[in-house]
Structure 1
Amino acid sequence: MNKKVLKISFDYDFTLIGISAPTRDYRFCWFLNKELSFNLIKTDDIILLNKANEEIYFSRYHQFFEESEQDYFLIGNKGISGYLIPERKEIDFFLLIHNLNYQSERDALLQQINKMSITQTAFFIDANKLKSKENFLF
Protein backbone atom coordinates (compact mmCIF):
# COMPACT_ATOMS: atom_id res chain seq x y z
CA MET A 1 0.00 0.00 0.00
CA ASN A 2 1.33 3.43 -0.95
CA LYS A 3 1.87 6.07 1.68
CA LYS A 4 0.64 9.55 1.06
CA VAL A 5 2.40 12.40 2.75
CA LEU A 6 0.60 15.64 3.38
CA LYS A 7 2.85 18.68 3.38
CA ILE A 8 1.44 21.82 4.88
CA SER A 9 2.93 25.21 4.22
CA PHE A 10 1.70 28.35 5.89
CA ASP A 11 1.58 31.83 4.45
CA TYR A 12 3.60 34.35 6.44
CA ASP A 13 2.24 37.31 4.52
CA PHE A 14 2.52 40.05 7.13
CA THR A 15 4.84 42.86 8.07
CA LEU A 16 6.93 42.09 11.13
CA ILE A 17 8.83 44.68 13.13
CA GLY A 18 11.19 43.70 15.94
CA ILE A 19 11.43 46.26 18.73
CA SER A 20 13.93 46.61 21.52
CA ALA A 21 12.40 48.59 24.38
CA PRO A 22 13.33 47.33 27.86
CA THR A 23 10.07 48.07 29.65
CA ARG A 24 6.84 46.33 30.64
CA ASP A 25 4.42 45.41 27.86
CA TYR A 26 1.57 47.61 29.10
CA ARG A 27 3.88 50.63 29.31
CA PHE A 28 5.22 50.13 25.80
CA CYS A 29 1.66 49.67 24.53
CA TRP A 30 0.68 52.95 26.20
CA PHE A 31 3.55 54.71 24.40
CA LEU A 32 2.51 53.23 21.05
CA ASN A 33 -1.09 54.27 21.61
CA LYS A 34 -0.07 57.78 22.59
CA GLU A 35 2.66 58.43 20.04
CA LEU A 36 1.06 56.73 17.01
CA SER A 37 -2.61 57.41 17.81
CA PHE A 38 -3.34 53.70 18.12
CA ASN A 39 -5.89 52.05 20.35
CA LEU A 40 -4.22 48.70 21.02
CA ILE A 41 -6.22 46.67 23.54
CA LYS A 42 -5.01 43.73 25.63
CA THR A 43 -6.34 40.39 24.38
CA ASP A 44 -5.76 36.79 25.42
CA ASP A 45 -2.12 35.84 25.88
CA ILE A 46 -0.38 33.49 23.48
CA ILE A 47 0.29 30.23 25.32
CA LEU A 48 3.10 27.90 24.26
CA LEU A 49 4.56 24.80 25.87
CA ASN A 50 8.28 24.62 26.63
CA LYS A 51 10.39 21.46 26.54
CA ALA A 52 9.29 20.54 30.07
CA ASN A 53 5.60 20.81 29.01
CA GLU A 54 5.15 23.96 31.09
CA GLU A 55 2.98 26.75 29.75
CA ILE A 56 4.67 30.03 28.80
CA TYR A 57 2.50 33.13 28.38
CA PHE A 58 3.26 35.97 25.96
CA SER A 59 1.29 39.20 26.10
CA ARG A 60 -0.71 40.26 23.06
CA TYR A 61 -2.44 43.53 22.18
CA HIS A 62 -4.66 44.04 19.15
CA GLN A 63 -6.26 46.73 17.02
CA PHE A 64 -8.21 46.42 13.77
CA PHE A 65 -8.62 49.35 11.40
CA GLU A 66 -11.84 48.82 9.45
CA GLU A 67 -11.24 51.42 6.75
CA SER A 68 -7.92 49.88 5.66
CA GLU A 69 -8.63 46.33 6.93
CA GLN A 70 -5.31 46.32 8.76
CA ASP A 71 -4.72 44.17 11.83
CA TYR A 72 -2.05 45.27 14.32
CA PHE A 73 -0.72 42.93 16.99
CA LEU A 74 1.84 43.91 19.62
CA ILE A 75 3.34 40.70 20.98
CA GLY A 76 5.82 40.30 23.82
CA ASN A 77 8.83 38.12 23.02
CA LYS A 78 9.75 37.35 26.63
CA GLY A 79 7.74 35.05 28.85
CA ILE A 80 8.55 34.09 32.42
CA SER A 81 10.50 30.99 31.39
CA GLY A 82 11.23 31.39 27.69
CA TYR A 83 11.00 33.32 24.45
CA LEU A 84 8.37 33.35 21.73
CA ILE A 85 11.16 33.50 19.14
CA PRO A 86 14.22 32.08 20.94
CA GLU A 87 16.64 32.90 18.12
CA ARG A 88 15.89 36.63 18.55
CA LYS A 89 16.39 37.12 22.29
CA GLU A 90 17.46 40.74 21.81
CA ILE A 91 13.93 41.68 20.75
CA ASP A 92 11.46 42.70 23.46
CA PHE A 93 8.36 43.09 21.28
CA PHE A 94 7.08 42.22 17.84
CA LEU A 95 4.64 44.39 15.94
CA LEU A 96 2.85 42.12 13.47
CA ILE A 97 0.72 43.86 10.84
CA HIS A 98 -1.59 42.27 8.30
CA ASN A 99 -2.38 44.22 5.08
CA LEU A 100 0.25 46.95 5.42
CA ASN A 101 0.85 46.86 1.68
CA TYR A 102 2.76 49.99 0.76
CA GLN A 103 6.48 50.33 1.41
CA SER A 104 6.07 54.03 2.19
CA GLU A 105 3.58 53.17 4.98
CA ARG A 106 5.96 50.56 6.38
CA ASP A 107 8.90 52.94 6.34
CA ALA A 108 6.89 55.74 7.97
CA LEU A 109 5.68 53.41 10.73
CA LEU A 110 9.20 52.15 11.42
CA GLN A 111 10.51 55.70 11.54
CA GLN A 112 7.81 56.74 14.02
CA ILE A 113 8.57 53.77 16.30
CA ASN A 114 12.30 54.54 16.22
CA LYS A 115 11.60 58.17 17.18
CA MET A 116 9.81 57.16 20.39
CA SER A 117 11.90 57.93 23.47
CA ILE A 118 11.26 54.49 24.98
CA THR A 119 12.49 52.59 21.90
CA GLN A 120 16.13 51.60 21.63
CA THR A 121 15.77 50.22 18.11
CA ALA A 122 13.16 48.87 15.71
CA PHE A 123 13.72 47.04 12.45
CA PHE A 124 11.95 44.88 9.88
CA ILE A 125 12.23 41.11 10.15
CA ASP A 126 11.62 38.55 7.42
CA ALA A 127 9.39 36.00 9.18
CA ASN A 128 10.25 33.34 6.59
CA LYS A 129 13.86 33.30 7.83
CA LEU A 130 12.93 32.59 11.47
CA LYS A 131 13.17 29.02 12.79
CA SER A 132 10.26 29.56 15.20
CA LYS A 133 8.01 31.42 12.76
CA GLU A 134 5.11 29.02 13.40
CA ASN A 135 4.69 30.73 16.81
CA PHE A 136 3.19 33.69 14.92
CA LEU A 137 0.28 31.55 13.72
CA PHE A 138 -2.53 32.25 16.16
Structure 2
Amino acid sequence: MTILKLKLDQDQLVEDFFESSHLIGIASTARDYQLCWQINRHLHTNFRVNNSLEITLTKKNRSYHFPVLDFHEPTNAVVHYCYNNHCQAEFLLPELKQIHFLWMIKGDYYQQEDVKKIVEELRHVPQVQLVSLLDIREIRNKMNLIF
Protein backbone atom coordinates (compact mmCIF):
# COMPACT_ATOMS: atom_id res chain seq x y z
CA MET A 1 0.00 0.00 0.00
CA THR A 2 1.32 3.43 -0.97
CA ILE A 3 0.83 6.30 1.42
CA LEU A 4 0.26 9.60 -0.32
CA LYS A 5 1.64 12.66 1.44
CA LEU A 6 0.07 15.96 0.62
CA LYS A 7 2.04 19.12 1.18
CA LEU A 8 0.31 22.44 1.65
CA ASP A 9 1.77 25.12 -0.58
CA GLN A 10 1.85 27.95 1.97
CA ASP A 11 3.09 30.52 -0.52
CA GLN A 12 0.14 29.79 -2.82
CA LEU A 13 -2.26 29.83 0.13
CA VAL A 14 -0.97 33.26 1.20
CA GLU A 15 -1.11 34.59 -2.36
CA ASP A 16 -4.69 33.36 -2.84
CA PHE A 17 -5.89 34.67 0.53
CA PHE A 18 -4.48 38.16 0.02
CA GLU A 19 -5.41 38.50 -3.65
CA SER A 20 -7.53 41.65 -4.14
CA SER A 21 -6.97 42.72 -0.52
CA HIS A 22 -6.06 45.96 1.18
CA LEU A 23 -4.81 46.28 4.75
CA ILE A 24 -5.13 49.28 7.06
CA GLY A 25 -3.36 49.56 10.42
CA ILE A 26 -5.13 51.37 13.26
CA ALA A 27 -3.65 52.49 16.57
CA SER A 28 -6.22 52.93 19.33
CA THR A 29 -6.38 52.20 23.03
CA ALA A 30 -10.10 51.40 22.75
CA ARG A 31 -11.44 47.86 23.07
CA ASP A 32 -12.29 46.19 19.75
CA TYR A 33 -16.06 46.48 20.25
CA GLN A 34 -15.75 50.18 21.22
CA LEU A 35 -13.62 51.01 18.20
CA CYS A 36 -15.86 49.12 15.78
CA TRP A 37 -18.92 50.78 17.26
CA GLN A 38 -17.31 54.17 16.50
CA ILE A 39 -16.31 53.01 13.00
CA ASN A 40 -19.83 51.70 12.36
CA ARG A 41 -21.30 55.06 13.39
CA HIS A 42 -18.92 57.24 11.39
CA LEU A 43 -18.31 55.14 8.28
CA HIS A 44 -21.74 53.45 8.08
CA THR A 45 -20.30 49.96 8.30
CA ASN A 46 -21.70 47.03 10.27
CA PHE A 47 -18.78 45.29 11.97
CA ARG A 48 -19.82 42.45 14.28
CA VAL A 49 -17.81 39.90 16.25
CA ASN A 50 -17.55 36.60 14.39
CA ASN A 51 -16.46 33.95 16.90
CA SER A 52 -15.92 31.38 14.14
CA LEU A 53 -13.10 33.55 12.73
CA GLU A 54 -11.22 33.97 16.02
CA ILE A 55 -7.53 33.24 15.54
CA THR A 56 -5.72 31.19 18.17
CA LEU A 57 -1.93 31.23 18.40
CA THR A 58 -0.01 29.01 20.77
CA LYS A 59 3.27 30.34 22.15
CA LYS A 60 5.25 29.04 25.12
CA ASN A 61 2.56 26.45 25.92
CA ARG A 62 -0.12 29.15 26.17
CA SER A 63 -2.97 29.93 23.82
CA TYR A 64 -3.76 33.48 22.77
CA HIS A 65 -7.09 34.31 21.17
CA PHE A 66 -7.40 37.18 18.71
CA PRO A 67 -10.99 38.22 17.96
CA VAL A 68 -12.02 39.08 14.40
CA LEU A 69 -14.99 41.25 13.52
CA ASP A 70 -16.44 41.17 10.04
CA PHE A 71 -18.83 43.06 7.79
CA HIS A 72 -20.16 41.91 4.41
CA GLU A 73 -21.25 44.66 2.04
CA PRO A 74 -24.72 43.79 0.76
CA THR A 75 -24.34 45.34 -2.70
CA ASN A 76 -21.02 43.84 -3.84
CA ALA A 77 -18.67 40.96 -3.12
CA VAL A 78 -16.57 42.81 -0.55
CA VAL A 79 -15.88 41.60 2.98
CA HIS A 80 -14.25 43.71 5.67
CA TYR A 81 -12.38 42.16 8.61
CA CYS A 82 -11.14 43.89 11.74
CA TYR A 83 -8.45 41.89 13.53
CA ASN A 84 -7.37 42.59 17.08
CA ASN A 85 -3.55 42.60 16.96
CA HIS A 86 -3.07 42.33 20.76
CA CYS A 87 -3.88 39.59 23.25
CA GLN A 88 -2.34 40.09 26.67
CA ALA A 89 1.37 40.55 25.91
CA GLU A 90 1.33 38.79 22.52
CA PHE A 91 0.75 40.12 19.01
CA LEU A 92 -0.91 38.59 15.98
CA LEU A 93 1.66 40.45 13.85
CA PRO A 94 4.71 40.98 16.10
CA GLU A 95 6.34 43.23 13.50
CA LEU A 96 3.48 45.73 13.98
CA LYS A 97 3.46 46.16 17.77
CA GLN A 98 2.39 49.81 17.50
CA ILE A 99 -0.74 48.78 15.55
CA HIS A 100 -3.67 47.65 17.71
CA PHE A 101 -6.11 46.72 14.95
CA LEU A 102 -5.91 45.62 11.32
CA TRP A 103 -8.73 46.34 8.87
CA MET A 104 -8.60 44.08 5.84
CA ILE A 105 -10.76 44.76 2.80
CA LYS A 106 -11.16 41.72 0.53
CA GLY A 107 -12.72 41.95 -2.91
CA ASP A 108 -12.21 43.48 -6.35
CA TYR A 109 -14.54 46.42 -5.83
CA TYR A 110 -12.20 48.79 -3.96
CA GLN A 111 -9.28 50.46 -5.72
CA GLN A 112 -6.30 52.07 -3.98
CA GLU A 113 -7.92 55.53 -4.12
CA ASP A 114 -11.08 54.20 -2.42
CA VAL A 115 -9.00 52.71 0.39
CA LYS A 116 -7.13 56.01 0.83
CA LYS A 117 -10.52 57.72 1.31
CA ILE A 118 -11.39 55.20 4.04
CA VAL A 119 -8.05 55.92 5.72
CA GLU A 120 -8.85 59.65 5.65
CA GLU A 121 -12.32 59.04 7.12
CA LEU A 122 -10.84 56.84 9.86
CA ARG A 123 -8.64 59.74 10.98
CA HIS A 124 -11.82 61.53 12.09
CA VAL A 125 -13.17 58.64 14.16
CA PRO A 126 -13.00 59.24 17.92
CA GLN A 127 -10.55 56.92 19.70
CA VAL A 128 -8.44 56.45 16.55
CA GLN A 129 -4.94 57.75 17.22
CA LEU A 130 -3.13 56.67 14.05
CA VAL A 131 -4.15 55.15 10.72
CA SER A 132 -1.88 53.92 7.95
CA LEU A 133 -2.20 51.95 4.77
CA LEU A 134 -0.04 48.82 5.02
CA ASP A 135 1.75 46.95 2.27
CA ILE A 136 0.79 43.29 2.64
CA ARG A 137 3.98 42.24 0.85
CA GLU A 138 6.06 43.73 3.69
CA ILE A 139 4.33 41.77 6.46
CA ARG A 140 6.42 38.82 7.63
CA ASN A 141 3.77 36.91 9.60
CA LYS A 142 0.97 36.93 6.99
CA MET A 143 0.02 33.34 7.84
CA ASN A 144 -1.28 34.57 11.20
CA LEU A 145 -4.04 36.49 9.42
CA ILE A 146 -5.40 33.48 7.55
CA PHE A 147 -8.39 31.84 9.20
Counterpart residue number, 1:43: 50
- Gaps of at least 5 residues in structure 1 are none
CA contact (8 A) 1:57 1:80 kept: no
Please tell me the residue identity of whatever aligns with 1:26: Y
RMSD: 1.6
- Gaps of at least 5 residues in structure 2 are 1-6
Separation (CA, whole Å) in 2 of partners of 1:6 and 1:57: 24
Deviation at 1:90, TM superposition (A): 0.2
Q: Is the aligned partner of 1:103 residue 2:132?
A: no
Could you tell me which of 121, 124, 135 is aligned with 2:133? Answer: 124
Separation (CA, whole Å) in 2 of partners of 1:15 and 1:131: 16
Could you tell me which of 46, 51, 62 is aligned with 1:54? Answer: 62
Deviation at 1:117, TM superposition (A): 2.3
Could you tell me which of 122, 130, 140 is aligned with 1:113? Answer: 122
More helix by proportion, 1 or 2?
2
Please tell me the residue identity of whatever aligns with 2:102: F
Q: Is the aligned partner of 1:23 residue 2:30?
A: yes
Identity between Structure 1 and Structure 2 (%): 23
Counterpart residue number, 1:83: 91
Separation (CA, whole Å) in 2 of partners of 1:79 and 1:38: 25
Provide TM-score, normalisation by structure 1. Answer: 0.89
| CA displacement, residues 59-99 of structure 1 (integer Å, 9 cap, x when unaligned) | 11011113121100011100124100011100010001101
Matched pairs, number: 133
Counterpart residue number, 1:93: 101
Q: Is the aligned partner of 1:66 residue 2:74?
A: yes
